[in-house]
A and B are shown apart, each in its own frame.
Chain A
């Protein structure tokens, strides 16, 4: 079974600084998807960024980028120029290829605090 581990229960960063959230996963598959979801206090789950495992290029979305290390099974999220609105729980998630059971497996989450 796939597992996703987020080793940082909580992170704190000054506004406008850069922060990196860590995620590792375990899988025997060679093709899969990885995601970062944001959950603010409103509890809405918001897709931040996704990465296809077959793509070597790291995904970026504005201030959000990932460092995908396939061999190390590592998928970290970097938030640049952090803003107060970035404060939330961040969940790393894994999805296996769509050949059958391909629900998302989530990590336990990292609570990100933005200090003004």
Chain B
């Protein structure tokens, strides 16, 4: 089965450090999302891309977060500098614009101490 691959699976970092999370979407999918999951807020949409162009990043704190898609096989989410409140599970998902469902990766569990 085709899958969305996220790395790393777990990341522990100190406050103030830069964190980069990577996602390899399913080949052929033209839409890529980044979601954040916390106990308090649930699943929040941070950003997404269609045909590699950013479509919506209104849910993302602009001062420290950035999302890019340098090519069709790689999407990145960066946090600089990281803060303890950024501790969460970050999911990448991909899909087709005209097809209903999206496939999620296994997520990156980020802990900022």
Of all chain A residues, which has the CB nearest B106? A44
| Range of interface residues on B (Cβ < 8 Å) | 20 to 34
How many Å lie between the Cα of A109 and that of B42 in the bound state?
8
Of all chain B residues, which has the CB nearest A51? B100
Q: B89 to A103, Cβ gap below 8 A?
A: no
Q: What is the interface size of chain A, counting residues whose CB is below 8 A from a CB of the partner?
A: 24
* Complex interface: stretch among B11-19, B21-29, B67-75, B91-99: B91-99
CB of A41 within 8 A of chain B? no
CB of B103 within 8 A of chain A? yes
How many Å lie between the Cα of A108 and that of B38 in the bound state?
10
How many Å lie between the Cα of A3 and that of B48 in the bound state?
19
Number of A-B contacts (CB under 8 A): 48
Q: A43 to B106, Cβ gap below 8 A?
A: yes
Given A103-B45, A106-B42, answer yes or no on A47-B97 (Cβ-Cβ < 8 Å).
no
Q: A35 to B101, Cβ gap below 8 A?
A: yes
Bits for A26-62, please: 1 = Cβ < 8 Å to B, else 0: 0000000101010000111111001010000000000
Given A91-B43, A98-B98, A101-B55, answer yes or no on A44-B48 (Cβ-Cβ < 8 Å).
no
Of B55, B93, B98, B100, which is within 8 A of A50 by CB? B100
Describe B's contact surface by its main secondary structure: strand
Q: B101 to A50, Cβ gap below 8 A?
A: yes
Q: A47 to B107, Cβ gap below 8 A?
A: no
B100 partner residues in chain A, CB cutoff 8 A: 33, 35, 50, 52, 95
- Which of A45, A47, A104, A109 gathers most chain B CB within 10 Å? A45
Of all chain B residues, which has the CB nearest A99? B97
A47 partner residues in chain B, CB cutoff 8 A: 101-103
Counting from the closest, the 4 A-B pairs by CB-CB distance are A45-B104, A106-B43, A103-B45, A101-B56
Extra A-B contacts (16), CB below 8 Å, given A35-B100, A91-B43: A33-B100, A37-B104, A44-B106, A44-B107, A45-B91, A45-B93, A45-B104, A46-B104, A95-B100, A98-B97, A101-B55, A101-B56, A102-B97, A103-B33, A103-B45, A104-B102
